[in-house]
Structure 1
């Protein structure tokens, strides 16, 4: 009996010893799997607290297994270093993506990395996006420095190459299989999503962060290779016909050429969001000057910004070209060598002098290159102004607008002046010490700082518009003033909801606040104190101005807001508004615009969704292959 017990005990010890060695010798793999899984899953929840595709766990596990599989080929000590470096890389990507999402409500892509050079000029904005909780992604990296060193020293079990290759094959195959199954499911549910990546947030929720970046890298490389080839002629003809039909449906009849020969002054205002218009805080109007000018102008109160990764530059791009922003990154960088049927180019053909004015450095957003491509005769940037007062990123709006009007007074008429303000740029704290605007309970908060910033800019815009009137410039000019993009990023949306007394908020509420004001003033005070409630967006400004200024409306994706009955507004992420319904792409949900209630998908709505994606694809093809060069030359 004793012998049997001894043998049993010895067998148990061997099993325990085997399990202990197995766990100990693979402790690096176990820890890597657990830590990376937690990070990736927490990241998925952070970009989607209200909606998370539950199957995202499978591609997360699959991606981790692929990395572990690769590490198993290596000798154990090299494997430890490989997994540690992979942890660092993944953690850095996640922190970058989290910060990018807070500002852009989007996912970082390879094309958007091209914009990284801009961060040198907005370091305050970038650092303000970092949160203490983001250290969660790198704490293990710091904590495991001594563990990595000691574990390497005491680990002694070395597997032969044949066994390493076998374990690699098994683990790698399982990981690839899980990823392939997920990607196949996505391709069936939304056939164009993996290639167009028009809805990056929704895609990331479905396939996870690592798979997203792999798909993005594949698309980036394959797109560059594909775009090096000529687009088939039948596809070019298809796009051209679509744009020609869009022009015909826009119906330029009313007011056609009414202001031909008049000056045109367009003012793009940094972070001017609509919710501040005609609103008070602590008994004071936030934008008293714009409120005053709205009564003397035509005001569009359902005008949406449609920007993507290029933010301010995207607003400029759409307003001057009626083309959608780049699929990823900024069109101002990616397509600065293209030919454009831009507003400035069109007006130059009517003997207009064209000039862009902005108080920031000329190279910011590649404006010094892009403005030439868009046909501006001159660009008055930072070096063209006396930098006598700086607030935030550069020359104050007060000084910029005062100096700009002196330049405009000397422009040869007729002219097109395109002005871009700067001071009310995120994160707004630079303006808090200017003026005595009391924000009451919001004092010292993000919202309070924004209200101060936009109140300051409103004062400068009021002075500028008043001076245009006093100098007699306004009597011979069409004025268009609009906001470029959101003021309140997604991570601060609760402050906006509190300010607006919104409770039980959802994506419908979020979209209703993604409006910017558009104010149009005409020389003869036509339609003054009139509010246009049509659903419109930044893509529609150029076609509208083209009709008013007597320019031929061609090769534009937007519509004439004063003629067309079409109320479609398509966003770069695939969401859209059709005048009755709102489609939110990242949750694949429809809402009734009037009530905010969820609407079931119908065949008609599905067709509208496909048409929106088709339109985005057409715009991408047009930009990628520089098709306007052929279209405008009649080829």
Structure 2
């Protein structure tokens, strides 16, 4: 009996020693992955929900090590541990800023993120590097392990058999979970439109494996032509949206100039607000009072942030599913505002005071058919604030250029000084007494946007005094969020919000949008739910432009509207659907509600729009549609 027990114990001891590398790797990476998911989902985190998918995904990947010989196996597992630890660190930092998960396309576009690098100190914490602590400790231990443990060298067929057994255990269980989710949330995995929710349900290892698979399969799929029936379906959908809903202010801009200003990081919560008796945006407040103001206007950007705001506003198309459309689709045919204004004999110009190639603008503006592009090389960089040329100098120099433009013209300009991290406006005047907010993130932002407001006000007053606004329609809007998710509490405190919900956060993701008419005509407030994809069709109504192939809505004539976000969330009929938590909110009561048949239909339409949008971009369908129209003799 003692001999049998001894043999069993000896067998167990040898088994553990011979397989300590894989026995260690599976639980440690499972722990790290669960810890990461708890970090990104404190409100909805559940060990019972995430443990199994995380464990089986780690088992499935770790099983690959069994194909290697002894040293190769240990090396594979060690590298797997290091790579996943680095991914956990990167994903954690990225989530703090963007409230999203890094994808392959984001990494591919990393060079385009510009000023985000300067924010690393704010989103990367020393405690994050604890993910790598065991890797450092393990390095010398692995050398000792190799010297003192001589495990049997298995033949290839034996190693392959071990791999199949362990892989089958992990992969089959994992596949069952993935399949179940695909049934509950159709198209979630194939489109990955809601990366955050996917990571919360399946874990980070599964997410990145699925992301890699989707990138590869999308590339292969895009090499194939899309079925004609699907093309016709998309075209018919867009043609239905082309039908005008009214004639209010139709053609009001005929023959007039159009001046559009996209303001960096301008969010709505600062509008009309005061600190210590001082208005944060006194100039915008003044011009809002003289304009048609849309106070329920959401930004709809994704990974491309500022460039996405341009893409939405100039083309009435949604951003790319992953990455930046400006970087991914410069070869596509687009039916942009500039193209249509060119057809009407306008001089089309875009202006910003930063590098010509940033966000691939020097290439994309050609695709969007702007006649002229003025950027850093066209300006005297005589004063820098933040990333580049100060808004003060940019507006002064732009004003001088505009006086020389042949009329009528369409000018699209982008400001820069209020770009993150909002800490370089001091010393340039126009500061505000921040009181208790001095030195805080939100305090720096308020000071930064107060500076930009002053320069914008100066510019608009000069346009008015010069008489330019007598023959121009002016549009001003914010491009995207200013306050990242990791600084949400400061924003909630500023707004006096306690026990914040997803709905509270969504309500703060609005940007101002105003349309100013000559002689301050048509001023007032329009509260229709709206987004940046709606700007182009609204402009099209004012200037009698073709409204074909747009996802947006003419806000002046619409009675209601649905705001679709790239994540799959939406606002419709006083309901907000948060895709990342799969929750519906009544925007009046602020309580969660069960989805109605109407909301389920809106959700389906939202997913259809995003899928159609991706097909258009991935297969350059607008080119085919325009060619078909030309062949049929359509205008």
Other-structure match for 1:42: 35
Distance 2:381 2:573 in 1: 45
Other-structure match for 2:162: 167
- The CA deviation string for residues 444-487 of structure 1, in whole angstroms up to 9 with x for no partner, is 11111111111111111111111111111111111110100011
Displacement of 1:255: 0.9
1:498 partner SS? helix
Question: Pick from 430, 434, 445: which aligns with 2:440?
Answer: 445
Distance 1:113 1:408 in 2: 38
Cα contact 1:359–1:385 (8 A) shared by 2: yes
Cα contact 1:336–1:370 (8 A) shared by 2: yes
Distance 1:531 1:120 in 2: 35
| Residue 490 (str. 1) matches residue 485 (str. 2) | yes
1:531 partner SS? strand
CA RMSD of aligned residues (A): 1.5
Other-structure match for 2:13: 20
Displacement of 1:15: 3.4
Distance 2:132 2:427 in 1: 36
Distance 2:301 2:230 in 1: 26
Other-structure match for 2:24: 31
Other-structure match for 1:337: 331
Other-structure match for 2:597: 603
- The CA deviation string for residues 72-108 of structure 1, in whole angstroms up to 9 with x for no partner, is 2222222111111111111222222222222222222
| Residue 194 (str. 1) matches residue 201 (str. 2) | no
Displacement of 1:66: 1.5
Displacement of 1:166: 3.1
Other-structure match for 2:230: 235
After superposition, where does 1:119-198 map in structure 2 within 5 Å?
Answer: 119=113, 122-161=116-155, 162-198=157-193
Other-structure match for 1:407: 401
Distance 2:261 2:420 in 1: 18
Q: Which stretch shifts more, 57-66 or 611-620?
A: 57-66
| Residue 319 (str. 1) matches residue 310 (str. 2) | no
- The CA deviation string for residues 318-356 of structure 1, in whole angstroms up to 9 with x for no partner, is 000000101111110111111111011111101000111
Other-structure match for 1:264: 258
Cα contact 1:107–1:200 (8 A) shared by 2: yes
Question: Pick from 359, 372, 392: which aligns with 2:366?
Answer: 372
Cα contact 1:432–1:449 (8 A) shared by 2: no
1:590 partner SS? strand
Residue ranges of structure 2 left out of the alignment (5+ in a row) = none
Distance 1:618 1:160 in 2: 52
Residue ranges of structure 1 left out of the alignment (5+ in a row) = 1-6
Cα contact 1:104–1:489 (8 A) shared by 2: yes
| Residue 75 (str. 1) matches residue 69 (str. 2) | yes
Aligned pairs, number: 626
Distance 2:609 2:121 in 1: 36
Distance 1:150 1:288 in 2: 69
- The CA deviation string for residues 287-326 of structure 1, in whole angstroms up to 9 with x for no partner, is 1111111111111110000001111000000000000101
Cα contact 1:104–1:308 (8 A) shared by 2: no
Other-structure match for 2:275: 281
Other-structure match for 2:414: 420
Other-structure match for 1:588: 582
Distance 1:119 1:610 in 2: 32
| Residue 383 (str. 1) matches residue 351 (str. 2) | no
The structure-2 alpha-carbon separation of the partners of 1:573 and 1:120, relative to structure 1 and needing over 3 Å to count, comes to: closer
Other-structure match for 1:548: 542
Distance 2:114 2:401 in 1: 29
Displacement of 1:159: 4.0
Displacement of 1:499: 0.7
Q: Which stretch shifts more, 157-166 or 415-424?
A: 157-166
Other-structure match for 1:224: 219
Cα contact 2:115–2:420 (8 A) shared by 1: no
Displacement of 1:58: 1.7
Cα contact 1:356–1:417 (8 A) shared by 2: yes
